[in-house]
Chain A
Amino acid sequence: MPFGEVRNARKVFPARELGSNATEDLIALDDATFSFEEGEIVSLLGPSGCGKTTLLRMVAGLIERTSGSIRIGGHEITGPYPDYGFVFQAPSLMPWRNVLDNVLYPMEVLGRHDAAARRHASELLEMVGLSGFERVRPHQLSGGMQQRVSLCRALIHAPRLLLMDEPFGALDELTRMEMNDMLLRVRQETGASVLFVTHSIAEAVYLADTVLVFTRRPARVALHLPVGLPRVRHQAMRFSSEFSFVERQASEALGVLKPAQETTA
């Protein structure tokens, strides 16, 4: 049995919940079916408004699905559960806590704030290159550094699944590449599975073992793209033929590129 399994997941927001102007129901996600193994990175790629963030929040148990089934680690998801870490688009740190205490926040909520937790927090900060910054306040850090703290916070309770909602979308291109390599290193060391929402084709392909391409109308998974690159990645692979091949398929599925036979003259 796969570690994570999503079957015909569907989310409809009824018109009455959308406000007075809405006359018809909003289908946020029409149909999503896929599965992934432990330690696998799956990119959810698509235009904004295609339901990928909705799917991520359903996997997190933060919103209810209308129909379908979502199983993680053998359990049907009915609400939030402590076996995942969530990374938002904005770092969303608490300005009143220093870096270390921000990372330790989940442990305080879970009642596991002890010496071992503090040691683990320091190890995580070291892994993302932030040792020595424990006592610094978030506003003194750059956007990329803040997002690394946010990643450590998501990893502190050693979850088996990381849910990431366009976490590097607000960063500049070079920082984003650095963060991609860092995330791959984190996966290598923690063995966590990752569901990674993005609308960058290159980022989706570089990170993932599988890319799921979403379409806007109807909001559903249009294509499963396995990425035939070794798990240990490095930047040179961006220029390999396999990389361009997957990028091209994703571009075609998204409709930004016409199918190959028409464009090759």
Chain B
Amino acid sequence: MRWAAWQRLAYPLIGAALVVSLWWAVCTIWKMPAAVLPTPMDVVRAIGSHWPALLSEGWITFKATMYGFALALILGIPIAVVVSLFRWAHDMFYPLLVALQSVPKVALAPILLVWLGTGIESKLAIAWLVAFFPIIVDTAAGLQSTPKELLELSRSLRSTRWQTFRMVQFPAALPFVVTGAKVAVTLSVIGAVIGEFIGASEGLGFLLLSATSQINTPLAFAALFGLSLLGVVAYLLVVAAERALAPWLPPPPPSH
């Protein structure tokens, strides 16, 4: 391996090792009780002894996240299409959609809980709700920024409205849809966890909450790591879908 490749691999590892050492140092120097700040070793042990529960609860949260996200795509994209293609639909509903977007969706969680109960439905609904608007807004923006020349070219060929949409506008909007989906999937994870915080009997959010109520902080940290892993996996799934659907996109800028 070349030196540059070594560096790319080594620096993040060194950085992570430094932060973990610092964490460990804080625990030992100030003699933190595990209930307040567990050592990295405590957390590793908690993961080791609870990994079947972490996996099964994680799977439940993951399902709620992905169902909510998928529903947001299934409903959001067609709504964005209708709003962008038909002037009257735009004038009737777009102001409403923008107004709704400014409602703090998380504040709706208790209401949704009353309506849908403590099962997967309420979690799914919250995950859907937070993902819905970024997808609509970005898809609509994409459909409205088709290059003018391509629209003129289609017009010069007397292309039908449906042909223009199918062959030009929609593919041209795909990068925007993907951008919206990346934001949305991250929000969906948050939505699902909030649903579990408010009233659920299973899932990583529930595990986290019950661990803290029993002052089992190492397990709470383990659940937290599980949630970050879940977020990364969900995000990577969207990136993989992007690569499969739109391989012509230029590679994304380095993430920050």
Partner-B contacts on A (CB < 8 A): 60-62, 80-82, 84, 86, 88, 90, 92, 94-96, 105-106, 108-110, 137, 139
Summed over the interface, the residue pairs from A and B with CB atoms below 8 Å come to a total of 50
List residues of chain B with CB within 8 A of the CB of A96.
171-172, 174, 246, 248
List residues of chain A with CB within 8 A of the CB of B150.
92, 94
Q: How far is the CA of A90 from the CA of B154 in the complex (A)?
A: 16
Asked if A62 and B147 sit within 8 Å, CB to CB, the answer is: no
Q: Which residue of B149, B156, B163, B171 is within 8 Å of A80 (Cβ)?
A: B156
Q: Is the interface of A mostly helix, strand, loop or mixed?
A: loop
List residues of chain B with CB within 8 A of the CB of A108.
167
List residues of chain A with CB within 8 A of the CB of B152.
62, 86, 88
What are 25 A-B contacts defined by CB distance under 8 Å?
A: A60-B156, A62-B152, A62-B155, A80-B155, A80-B157, A80-B158, A82-B158, A84-B156, A86-B153, A88-B149, A92-B149, A92-B150, A94-B150, A94-B168, A94-B172, A95-B248, A95-B249, A96-B171, A96-B174, A96-B246, A106-B157, A109-B157, A109-B159, A109-B167, A139-B250
- Chain B residue nearest to A92 (CB atoms) is B149
Asked if A90 and B149 sit within 8 Å, CB to CB, the answer is: yes
For chain B, the count of residues having a C-beta within 8 Å of the partner chain is 21
List residues of chain A with CB within 8 A of the CB of B157.
80, 82, 106, 109-110
- Chain B residue nearest to A165 (CB atoms) is B149
Closest-CB distance, B185 to chain A (whole angstroms): 22
Q: How far is the CA of A86 from the CA of B149 in the complex (A)?
A: 10
Q: How far is the CA of A61 from the CA of B147 in the complex (A)?
A: 19
Please provide the 10 A-B residue pairs with the shortest distance between their CB atoms, ordered closest to farther.
Answer: A92-B149, A109-B157, A88-B149, A109-B159, A96-B171, A96-B248, A80-B156, A95-B248, A106-B157, A86-B156
List residues of chain A with CB within 8 A of the CB of B174.
96
Q: How far is the CA of A105 from the CA of B163 in the complex (A)?
A: 11
List residues of chain A with CB within 8 A of the CB of B163.
109
- Chain A residue nearest to B168 (CB atoms) is A94
List residues of chain B with CB within 8 A of the CB of A139.
248, 250
Q: Which among B147, B150, B157, B172 has the highest number of chain A CB atoms within 10 Å?
A: B157
List residues of chain A with CB within 8 A of the CB of B250.
139
Asked if A137 and B248 sit within 8 Å, CB to CB, the answer is: yes
Known A62-B152, A92-B147, A109-B159; 17 more pairs at CB < 8 Å:
A61-B156, A80-B156, A81-B158, A82-B157, A82-B158, A84-B156, A86-B153, A88-B149, A94-B168, A94-B171, A95-B248, A95-B249, A96-B172, A96-B246, A105-B153, A108-B167, A109-B157
The answer to whether residues A62 and B248 also contact, given A88-B149, A109-B163 and a CB cut-off of 8 A, is no
